[in-house]
Chain A
Amino acid sequence: MQIQLDHLLPVPLKDKILQRKSGIWNENIQFNPGSFVKIKAPSGTGKTTLVHYLYHIRYDYTGSVLIDGKPWSGYNRNETASLRQQKISVIFQDLRLFEQLTALENIELKRVMNSQPYCTVEKVQEMAARLNVTHVLNQSSKTLSYGERQRIAIIRALVQPFEWLFMDEPFSHLDEDNTSRAAALIAEECKTRNAGFILTDLDHDQHFDYDVLYQL
């Protein structure tokens, strides 16, 4: 799946951005399928905004985001839902879990959204074990720590098929050990699917073998 940015410019940050040079904003960018992309951005430069544009939950921009050559505006609700079920996955900075559900229910919800689930129940348990969250699976997500919730959000993003994974500061509340475990899991899952990812974070890091680096 091709992702292309054509002079993408967020309306709220327009003035700030036009005053400096950005690696992403207002440029013509092509993301090659299957590549691991890192976008470094200091606070306030629009990391989250970019991820929201890529995932098509915010629309206040000029320019366009092209998915397989077609701008997001050209996709109807059903097509968008289908893309989100099959082609693109996301880990939000604010996680966006259902507070009323348990950790496992949150994961299950995404897993069975597809009539033919991509991931088995056993695989979920396996991933939970790798990220040290097995013991909280049956707890209400309201009662989990942020780090635990973050790992649940990561697993949720990995139970579906995708060609691109968008991640916005995915390890912000994880210690070194959990971070490397999570990164290893994500890299594995992406390689299995021949998928690429776009990760935004504040600083440079060595969590992955990145193919491309951008400065926002």
Chain B
Amino acid sequence: MASIGLGIAMVLILIALQANTDFNQLLYSDKNQNETADFLVINKKVTNSMMGQPEKSVFSPTDIENVRKQPFVQAVGLITSSQFKVVAQAPGELHFATDMFFEAVPDSFIDVKEDDWKWNPGDRTIPIILPNDFLNLYNFGFSLSQNLPQISQETVKALPLQVVISNNLVSETYTGHIVGFSDRISSFLVPATFMNWANEKYAGTTTAATSRIVIKTADPSNPALVKFLDDNGYTANQDKLKFSKTRVIVQTIVSVIGFFGLILLLFALLVFSMFIQLVIASCRKEIQLLVTLGTAPRQLQRYLLKQFVPLYFIIGILSLVLVTILQYFAAGLLAKHDMVVNPLPGIGTIIGTVLILVLVYIVNVSTVRRYILQDQ
């Protein structure tokens, strides 16, 4: 009976350990990296009390430094926004004109590798990066309702946009060129060099207040990150964070499984200990006579242990084999969904097996030792 308990306990604990390894692999290994998951755009929540006081919703240098210090933040980039009016027009018959705004991020955060992402003062062409979502919004929302043609990415890149930049005093026309599409940052991006120059020229400021920042993080669903954002009243693209709740739930479930496994292991150890005591007690007379005839306590212990220890090892190996089989199937299932985990058990699982077996062995040795010598 105790063997079954030990077997179940081992399997549960090993599953918990293996699940942990799998999760780490799914989240952090190179094969599973997802581009959009790495970058988060953070802004301060606009609450009712803050409305009308735009200075309250910007990030102070202290705020930015605080974010940079967090262990889950690999890099911080300031998003600067345009301080001037922008109107964009599509050429030709498209009849598409709109007020817009620009934002700029440090080049290291741009996910569209473009050699065209350069701008020098004097250039009349501004490279622009559009968010993918915006094109989809146009193609599947706006254009259909307005009876306008849908546009492909290649066409958009070929279209020269007329960009009119103005402030209260002057108004100048540039040509805008869409050079790429981003999944990462939901904004209309221009090179930082252009932004700084234009801000100074049209708005008289060189450094604009930072209302949004972009951070590079290894794992946007990290519960610590979510807590940090909550504590400071920051928000980020919610859908990237929603995995966090799921993840916390899954982690809790796995921990509970592991915890139950531990409790079960304790009980199994207890039962084994009592079983040994029972065996020793039931042949106390024989053991006594053996000792009287000169059997060394060591010889007795070795004999008793030989009855039990092979059983433990068999259970341990069987549990490991079972978990290996489960892991193999899981890897197969996950692969169909493009998620990669190692089909073999992780090193943590193997170490767990060894540790449990060592613990079981120690408990047995000490029980045998204690009760064999009890009435000598």
Q: Does A associate with B in a complex?
A: yes
Query: Residues of B contacting A77 with CB < 8 Å?
Result: 296-297, 373, 376
Query: Residues of A contacting B293 with CB < 8 Å?
Result: 84, 96, 109-110, 113
Q: CB of B291 within 8 A of chain A? A: yes
- Distance in angstroms between the alpha carbons of A113 and B295 in the assembled complex: 7
Which residue of chain B lies nearest to A88 when distances are taken between CB atoms in the complex?
B294
Query: Residues of B contacting A81 with CB < 8 Å?
Result: 291, 294-297, 299
- Distance in angstroms between the alpha carbons of A55 and B292 in the assembled complex: 9
**A78-B298, A81-B297 as given contacts; A57 in contact with B292, CB under 8 Å:** yes
- Distance in angstroms between the alpha carbons of A74 and B148 in the assembled complex: 107
Query: Residues of B contacting A35 with CB < 8 Å?
Result: none
Query: Residues of A contacting B292 with CB < 8 Å?
Result: 55, 57, 84, 96
Q: CB of A85 within 8 A of chain B? A: yes
Query: Residues of B contacting A96 with CB < 8 Å?
Result: 289, 292-293
- Distance in angstroms between the alpha carbons of A78 and B289 in the assembled complex: 15
A149: shortest Cβ distance to chain B, in Å? 14
Q: CB of B286 within 8 A of chain A? A: yes
Q: CB of A194 within 8 A of chain B? A: no
Query: Residues of B contacting A98 with CB < 8 Å?
Result: 286, 289
Which residue of chain A lies nearest to B372 when distances are taken between CB atoms in the complex?
A77
Q: Are B297 and A113 in contact (CB under 8 A)?
A: no
Q: Are A78 and B294 in contact (CB under 8 A)?
A: no
Query: Residues of B contacting A109 with CB < 8 Å?
Result: 293
Interface hits, B249-302 → A, CB 8 Å? 286, 289, 291-299
A134: shortest Cβ distance to chain B, in Å? 23
Q: CB of A82 within 8 A of chain B? A: yes
- Distance in angstroms between the alpha carbons of A78 and B295 in the assembled complex: 9
Query: Residues of A contacting B286 with CB < 8 Å?
Result: 98
Q: Interface readout for A71-106 with B: 1 if CB under 8 Å, 0 if not?
A: 000000110011111000000000010100000000
B287: shortest Cβ distance to chain A, in Å? 12
Q: Interface readout for A162-173 with B: 1 if CB under 8 Å, 0 if not?
A: 000000000000
A89: shortest Cβ distance to chain B, in Å? 9
Query: Residues of A contacting B294 with CB < 8 Å?
Result: 81-85, 110, 113, 160
**A77-B373, A77-B376 as given contacts; A82 in contact with B296, CB under 8 Å:** yes
A213: shortest Cβ distance to chain B, in Å? 28
Tally of contact residues, B, Cβ under 8 A: 13
Q: Interface readout for A123-139 with B: 1 if CB under 8 Å, 0 if not?
A: 00000000000000000
- Distance in angstroms between the alpha carbons of A110 and B295 in the assembled complex: 9
B284: shortest Cβ distance to chain A, in Å? 14
- Distance in angstroms between the alpha carbons of A128 and B294 in the assembled complex: 23
Query: Residues of A contacting B373 with CB < 8 Å?
Result: 77
A165: shortest Cβ distance to chain B, in Å? 13
Query: Residues of B contacting A82 with CB < 8 Å?
Result: 294, 296
Query: Residues of B contacting A84 with CB < 8 Å?
Result: 292-294
- Distance in angstroms between the alpha carbons of A78 and B299 in the assembled complex: 10
Query: Residues of A contacting B289 with CB < 8 Å?
Result: 96, 98
Which residue of chain B lies nearest to A106 when distances are taken between CB atoms in the complex?
B293
- Distance in angstroms between the alpha carbons of A83 and B296 in the assembled complex: 10
B286: shortest Cβ distance to chain A, in Å? 7
Q: Interface readout for B341-376 with A: 1 if CB under 8 Å, 0 if not?
A: 000000000000000000000000000000001001
- Distance in angstroms between the alpha carbons of A196 and B286 in the assembled complex: 29
Interface hits, A41-55 → B, CB 8 Å? 55
- Distance in angstroms between the alpha carbons of A15 and B135 in the assembled complex: 114
B304: shortest Cβ distance to chain A, in Å? 16
A108: shortest Cβ distance to chain B, in Å? 12
Interface hits, A108-123 → B, CB 8 Å? 109-110, 113
Most buried by A among B292, B297, B376: B292
- Distance in angstroms between the alpha carbons of A110 and B290 in the assembled complex: 9
B43: shortest Cβ distance to chain A, in Å? 76
Which residue of chain A lies nearest to B290 when distances are taken between CB atoms in the complex?
A109
Which residue of chain A lies nearest to B298 when distances are taken between CB atoms in the complex?
A78
Query: Residues of A contacting B298 with CB < 8 Å?
Result: 78
Query: Residues of B contacting A113 with CB < 8 Å?
Result: 293-295, 299
Query: Residues of B contacting A160 with CB < 8 Å?
Result: 294
Query: Residues of A contacting B295 with CB < 8 Å?
Result: 81, 113
B198: shortest Cβ distance to chain A, in Å? 92
Which residue of chain A lies nearest to B289 when distances are taken between CB atoms in the complex?
A96
A121: shortest Cβ distance to chain B, in Å? 19
Query: Residues of A contacting B376 with CB < 8 Å?
Result: 77
- Distance in angstroms between the alpha carbons of A23 and B373 in the assembled complex: 36
Query: Residues of B contacting A55 with CB < 8 Å?
Result: 292
Q: Interface readout for B224-260 with A: 1 if CB under 8 Å, 0 if not?
A: 0000000000000000000000000000000000000
Cβ contacts A to B, 22 pairs, < 8 Å: A55-B292, A77-B296, A77-B373, A78-B297, A81-B294, A81-B295, A81-B296, A81-B297, A81-B299, A82-B294, A84-B292, A84-B293, A85-B294, A85-B296, A96-B289, A96-B293, A98-B289, A109-B293, A110-B294, A113-B293, A113-B295, A160-B294
Q: Which 7 A-B pairs have the closest CB atoms?
A: A84-B294, A81-B296, A85-B294, A77-B297, A81-B294, A57-B292, A78-B296
Show the binding face of A for B, using Cβ within 8 Å.
Answer: 55, 57, 77-78, 81-85, 96, 98, 109-110, 113, 160
Known: A81-B295, A85-B296. 18 other contacts (CB 8 A): A55-B292, A57-B292, A77-B296, A77-B297, A78-B296, A78-B297, A78-B298, A81-B299, A82-B294, A84-B292, A84-B293, A84-B294, A96-B289, A109-B293, A110-B294, A113-B293, A113-B294, A113-B295
